[in-house]
């Protein structure tokens, strides 16, 4: 029988992996950003003056920014600073990258978390209903909804929602960040595509569980169908849903650029797109590292959530002792 590992041991091991992943991400972020064609010094000068800069001006700025140094030297310098929490200064805004990202991240996080919650609120009941009312109009309707959600590009869905709820019905504001009313349309736009697939996943997982012996036994004992589904079957079906939800949050945070542009939401996504256009290396590198970290942490949280959901779960090939 495999030796049990404690949660502390497991976490230590995962954090050690995290350091390696971080290092890989820094290399990837640095190389990718620097390999793209285009000169950041030139873009800075164009942005600053609105005019086309002279070769001398570009050369001077390149030298000031240390862009003439070999790539490994620049990477080493950046990594040393990053290790101290200094991701450099944005070429475009002149502000520290950490401040730029942390100023914008709350808006994106607010949008992403709301979208995930909204997706769960919609998809879990809908998926359950579709499973419990299999092959009924409700089931077919949810399938159509799922297909529609998966097929629609988010910007297009955003425009449709604005047309309906803001232009035609006048119920919600078109764009901007303010109270909850401003949050509804962008969050809905961001959530619907993934909610559709989550609905179908919930349905199929639940159908699988509903065919199990323990469900038949519970029903034979007279337990109502909805109660069997919510108390027993759904709980056993939750692991893949938790995995997908965790990954979705990470993906939504990374994919928010389009929705943030459509709804003028002052988040991190739109800022990243502009930074890529302008070859703002410190921001691109900082963002990739930031998002890489978010993904890794979310994965870790998802794994830990497994333990809570299912005591039989094994992590890293070994059974985890929850008392550790």
Partner 1 sequence: MAPHRVVSFALAGLMPLALATCERREPAARSAHATRAAEGQELVVAAGQDEFGLELNRHRLGMYPLNAGVCEPLVRLTHDFRVEPWLAARWAYRGDGTYRFTLRQGVRFHDGRVLDAASVKYTIDHSVATRTQYSFLDEHSAQVVDDSTVDIRPGRANTRLLEQLVHPTYAIIAPGNDPAVHPICTGPFRFVEYVRQDHLTVERNESYWGEKAKLRRLTFRFLPDDNTRALALRAGDLEAIFDVPRSMVAGLEHTSGITIMTAPPGAVIVLYIATRGRGAHARLADPMLRRAIAMAIDRRTLVEQVLDGYGAMVNTVNPPTVLGQYASRVTGVPYDPTGAARLLDRAGWTAAGDQRVRSKGGERLTLTLIAQPSGVDRAVTEYVQAQLARVGIDMRVERLDPAAFESRLNGGEFDLDLEVPNQNDANPAFLLALRWYSKSSVKSTAFLAAGPRFDDAVEQALSAPDHETLQRRAADAMHILVDEEVAAIPLAGIYRIYAMSSRVHGFDPHPSKTNQWWSTVWLAK
Candidates 307, 302, 301; CA nearest to 321 is: 307
Task: Give the burial class of 157: count Cβ atoms within 10 A of its Cβ; 0-12 exposed, 13-18 middle, 19 or more buried.
Answer: buried
- Select from 80-88, 145-153, 236-244, 312-320 the region that touches partner 1 (CB under 8 A): 145-153
Closer to partner 1 by CB, 157 or 234: give it: 157
Task: Give the burial class of 21: count Cβ atoms within 10 A of its Cβ; 0-12 exposed, 13-18 middle, 19 or more buried.
Answer: middle
- Select from 56-64, 121-129, 223-231, 241-249 the region that touches partner 1 (CB under 8 A): 56-64
Largest CA distance in the chain: 85
* Least Å from the CB of residue 43 to partner 1: 5
- Select from 51-59, 234-242, 287-295, 297-305 the region that touches partner 1 (CB under 8 A): 51-59
Q: For residues 14 and 113, give the distance between their C-alpha atoms in angstroms, rounded to a whole number.
A: 24
Site membership for partner 1, residue 167 (CB under 8 A): yes
Q: For residues 290 and 26, give the distance between their C-alpha atoms in angstroms, rounded to a whole number.
A: 10
- Reduced to 3 states (helix: H, G, I; strand: E, B; else coil), residue 319 is strand
Q: For residues 246 and 305, give the distance between their C-alpha atoms in angstroms, rounded to a whole number.
A: 10
* Least Å from the CB of residue 300 to partner 1: 32
- Structure tokens belonging to residue 264: 């003028």
Q: For residues 257 and 190, give the distance between their C-alpha atoms in angstroms, rounded to a whole number.
A: 10
* Least Å from the CB of residue 67 to partner 1: 13
- How many residues bind to partner 1 according to rule CB under 8 A? 58
Lay out the site mask for partner 1 across 262-291 (x = CB under 8 A, - = otherwise).
xxx-x---x---x-xxxx------------
Nearest-5° angle of CA 135, CA 139, CA 143?
A: 120
Closer to partner 1 by CB, 10 or 271: give it: 271
Site membership for partner 1, residue 200 (CB under 8 A): no
* Least Å from the CB of residue 224 to partner 1: 34
Closer to partner 1 by CB, 271 or 295: give it: 271
Q: Which of 18, 46, 117, 300 binds partner 1 (CB under 8 A)?
A: 46
Q: For residues 215 and 211, give the distance between their C-alpha atoms in angstroms, rounded to a whole number.
A: 7
Site membership for partner 1, residue 58 (CB under 8 A): yes
Candidates 184, 192, 167, 175; CA nearest to 255 is: 192
What sign does the dihedral 67-73-75-79 (CA atoms) show? Answer: negative
Q: For residues 173 and 171, give the distance between their C-alpha atoms in angstroms, rounded to a whole number.
A: 7
Closer to partner 1 by CB, 58 or 234: give it: 58
Site membership for partner 1, residue 57 (CB under 8 A): yes
Site membership for partner 1, residue 245 (CB under 8 A): no
Site membership for partner 1, residue 171 (CB under 8 A): yes
**Strand duo 5-6 + 318-321: pairing:** parallel
* Least Å from the CB of residue 96 to partner 1: 12
Q: For residues 148 and 144, give the distance between their C-alpha atoms in angstroms, rounded to a whole number.
A: 6
Closer to partner 1 by CB, 277 or 308: give it: 277
Chain residues binding partner 1 by CB under 8 A are: 36-40, 42-44, 46-58, 92-94, 144, 147-148, 150-152, 156, 159-160, 162-164, 166-171, 173-177, 261-264, 266, 270, 274, 276-279
């Amino acid at each position: 029988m495999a030796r049990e590992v404690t949660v502390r041991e497991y976490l230590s091991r995962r954090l050690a992996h995290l350091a390696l992943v971080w290092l890989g991400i820094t290399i990837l972020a640095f190389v990718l950003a620097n390999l793209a064609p285009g000169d950041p010094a030139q873009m800075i000068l164009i942005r600053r003056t609105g005019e086309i800069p002279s070769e001398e001006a570009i050369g001077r700025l390149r030298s000031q920014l240390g862009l003439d140094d070999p790539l490994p030297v620049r990477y080493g310098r950046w990594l040393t600073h990053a290790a101290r929490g200094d991701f450099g200064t944005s070429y475009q805004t002149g502000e520290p990258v950490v401040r730029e990202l942390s100023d914008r991240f709350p808006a994106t996080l607010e949008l992403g978390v709301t979208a995930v919650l909204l997706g769960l609120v919609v998809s879990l009941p809908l998926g359950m209903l579709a499973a419990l009312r299999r092959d009924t109009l409700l089931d077919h309707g949810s399938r159509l909804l799922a297909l529609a959600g998966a097929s629609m590009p988010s910007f297009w869905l955003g425009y449709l929602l604005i047309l309906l709820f803001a232009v035609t019905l006048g119920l919600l504001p078109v764009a901007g960040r303010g109270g909850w009313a401003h949050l509804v349309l962008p969050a809905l736009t961001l959530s619907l595509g993934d909610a559709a697939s989550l609905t179908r996943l919930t349905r199929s997982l639940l159908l699988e569980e509903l065919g199990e012996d323990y469900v038949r036994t519970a029903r034979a004992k007279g337990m109502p169908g909805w109660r069997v589904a919510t108390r027993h079957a759904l709980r056993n079906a939750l692991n893949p849903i938790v995995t997908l939800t965790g990954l979705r949050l990470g993906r939504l945070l990374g994919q928010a650029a389009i929705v943030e542009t459509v709804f003028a939401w002052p988040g991190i996504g739109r800022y990243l797109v502009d930074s890529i256009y302008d070859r703002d290396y410190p921001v691109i590198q900082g963002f990739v590292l930031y998002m890489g970290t978010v993904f890794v942490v979310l994965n870790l949280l998802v794994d830990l959530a497994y333990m809570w959901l299912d005591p039989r779960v094994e992590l890293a090939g070994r059974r985890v002792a929850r008392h550790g």
